[in-house]
Structure 1
Amino acid sequence: MKIKKGDKVQVITGTYKDTVGEVLACFPKEDRIIVEGVNVVKKHMKPTQENPDGGIVEKEAKIHVSNVMIYDEKAKKAGRVGYKFETDKKGNTEKVRVNKKTGAVIKGKK
């Protein structure tokens, strides 16, 4: 899966089309992700010790990874993810993710 936790993505289909948000969680075995503010559902919660009142809670549900594209904030454009190899000053080669439309390197959280 080319989309990682912490990436900025834009939804390209469905009710939330053109919405930009951050990926909160990834589920590679299911090819699904949770995006901040997208696919918000109401869940009925039973009263528990942590939540004694219970009630109705709004939370984000999973969406398929094919419904989003990586988003470049500087260019304000969404694009597909590609890979390229970069060499640093010491001669070390590293494989990095790249936005194919803008050519910008996608920085991962380390």
Structure 2
Amino acid sequence: MQKKFKIRKDDLVEVIAGKDKGKRGTVVRVVSDKDRVIVSGVNLVKKAMRKRSQQDRGGISEIEAPLHISNVAIVCKKCGPVRIGYKIDGDKKIRVCRKCGETL
């Protein structure tokens, strides 16, 4: 059974714990089986890349490493980092900000 998370791809999030605390970025990917998210421009690690062909050069490149989902908070445009609530509109569940009630 697949887990359900309140944070989705393309959400604006802020890191609330760890070495990149306070940085903001958009969610590139949600890794649901490991409870992790990959955020653009956050948690960069250096990785040694092997040369693949004669033209391609190897070297060290920076990639985004996954963060645990508990270390990020979704960002409301008015309030900043907030918790998420749900409002039922007809047969749809809409994510809303718990502080101001605006849809996310």
| 1:90 corresponds to | none
Tell me the SS of whatever aligns to 1:2.
coil
TM-score between the two structures when normalised by the length of structure 2 = 0.88
Alignment of 1:74-93 (within 5 A): 75-87=78-90, 93=91
Map 1:54-65; keep pairs closer than 5 Å.
54-65=58-69
Q: Counterpart of 2:14 in structure 1: which amino acid?
A: Q
- The count of residues paired between Structure 1 and Structure 2 equals 100
Q: Work out which of the residue numbers 82, 97, 100 in structure 2 matches 1:99.
A: 97
Unaligned segments of structure 2, at least 5 residues: none
RMSD: 1.6
1:101 Cα deviation after fit: 2.2
Q: Are 2:31 and 1:2 aligned? A: no
| TM-score normalised according to structure 1 size | 0.84
Residues 1:54 and 1:95: Cα distance change in structure 2 (over 3 Å): same
2: CA distance between counterparts of 1:50 and 1:40?
Answer: 28
State the identity as a percent: 42
Runs ≥4 in structure 1, deviation > 6 angstroms? none
**1:58 positional shift:** 0.4
Mark the runs of 5 or more structure 1 residues left unpaired by the alignment.
88-92
Would the aligned equivalents of 1:78 and 1:101 in 2 still touch at CA under 8 Å?
no
Alignment check: 8 A CA contact 1:70 1:99 kept: no
Q: Distance in 2 between matches of 1:53 and 1:24?
A: 26
How far apart, CA to CA, are the structure 1 residues paired with 2:71 and 2:102?
21
| Contact 2:79–2:99 (8 Å) recurs in 1 | no
- The match for 2:24 among 20, 26, 29 is 20
Matched residue type, 1:7: D
